[in-house]
Amino acid sequence: MLQTLHIKNFALIEHLHIDFSDRLSTITGETGAGKSILLGALGLVQGNRADLSSLKDKEQKCIVEAHFNITDYHLRDFFKQNDLDYEDVTIIRREILPSGKSRAFVNDSPVNLQELQELGNYLLDIHSQQQTRELSDEQYQMQILDAVAGSGELVSIYKKQFSGYKSVLAQLKKAKEEKEALGKEQDYNAFLLQELLGANLKAGEQEEMEAELEKLSNVEFIKESVGKALAIANEEQIGVFQNLKEIKVAMQKVSGISAEYAALSERISSLIIEFDDITDELSENLEKVTDDPQRLELVNQKLQLIYTLQKKHQVATVGELLEIQEALDSKALMAGTLDDTIEKLEIEAEKIKAEIDSTALAIHAKREKAIPVLSDKITAILAQLGMPNARFNFQLNVTENYHAVGKDEINLLFSGNKGTDFGLLKKVASGGEMSRIMLAVKAVLADYSKLPTIIFDEIDTGVSGEVAHKMGDIMKVMSRGMQVMAITHLPQIAAKGDQHYKVFKSTQGETTVSELKLLSHAERIREIAEMLSGKDISDSALTHAEALLN
Sketch the domain layout of the chain as residue ranges.
2-150+385-519, 175-338
- What letter does residue 136 receive in the DSSP assignment? G
- Give dist(CA 194, CA 198) in Å, integer: 6
How much is the pLDDT for 201? 85
pLDDT in the model for residue 335: 66
Please classify residue 228 by burial: count the beta carbons closer than 10 Å to its beta carbon, then call 0-12 exposed, 13-18 middle and 19+ buried.
Answer: exposed
CB distance 10 to 55 below 8 Å = yes
Per-residue pLDDT in tens (0 to 9) along the chain, 550 residues: 999 999 998 888 888 899 998 889 999 988 777 788 888 899 999 998 887 777 888 888 999 999 999 998 889 999 999 999 999 999 999 999 988 888 999 999 999 999 999 999 899 988 876 667 778 888 889 999 999 999 989 999 999 999 999 999 999 999 888 887 776 666 677 777 788 888 888 888 888 888 878 777 777 888 788 788 888 888 767 788 888 888 888 888 888 888 888 898 889 889 888 888 888 888 888 777 777 778 888 888 888 888 888 888 888 888 888 888 888 777 666 666 788 889 999 999 999 999 999 999 999 999 999 999 999 999 999 999 889 999 999 999 999 999 999 999 999 999 988 888 899 888 888 877 888 888 899 899 888 877 789 999 888 777 778 888 899 999 999 998 889 999 998 999 999 999 999 998 888 777 888 888 999 999 999 999 999 888 888 889 899 999 988 8
Q: CA 41, CA 514: separation in Å to the nearest integer?
A: 13
The pLDDT value recorded for residue 391 is: 92
Q: What's this model's pTM, rounded to 2 decimal places?
A: 0.67
CA–CA gap between residue 123 and residue 258 (Å, rounded): 104
Q: What is the pLDDT of residue 229?
A: 84
Q: Rounded to whole angstroms, what are the CA distances from 487 to 473, 477, 495?
A: 15, 17, 12
Q: Contact, 42 vs 502, CB < 8 A? A: no
CA distances in angstroms from 169 to 161, 172, 279, 337, listed in the order given: 12, 5, 76, 18
| Strand-pair category, 24-28 with 62-69 | unpaired
Of 364, 351, 358, nearest in space to 165 by CA: 351
Per-residue pLDDT at 115: 93
Residue 306 pLDDT: 86
Angle between helices 318-384 and 138-149 in degrees, nearest 10: 70
CA 69 to CA 117: how far, in whole Å?
Answer: 17
Note the helical H segments in 31-151: 35-45, 76-81, 113-123, 138-149
Q: What is the pLDDT of residue 184?
A: 66
Counting Cβ atoms within 10 Å, is residue 178 exposed (0-12), middle (13-18) or buried (19+)? middle
For position 217, what pLDDT does the model report?
A: 78
Q: Are 503 and 515 in contact (CB under 8 A)?
A: yes
Contact 324, 188 (CB under 8 A): no
- Domain 2-150+385-519, CATH number (from 3.40.190.150, 3.40.50.300, 2.102.10.10, 1.20.1250.40): 3.40.50.300
- Residue 299, classified by CB atoms within 10 Å of its CB into exposed (0-12), middle (13-18) or buried (19+), is buried
Least Cα distance to 413 among 405, 424, 403 occurs for 424
pLDDT of residue 521: 93
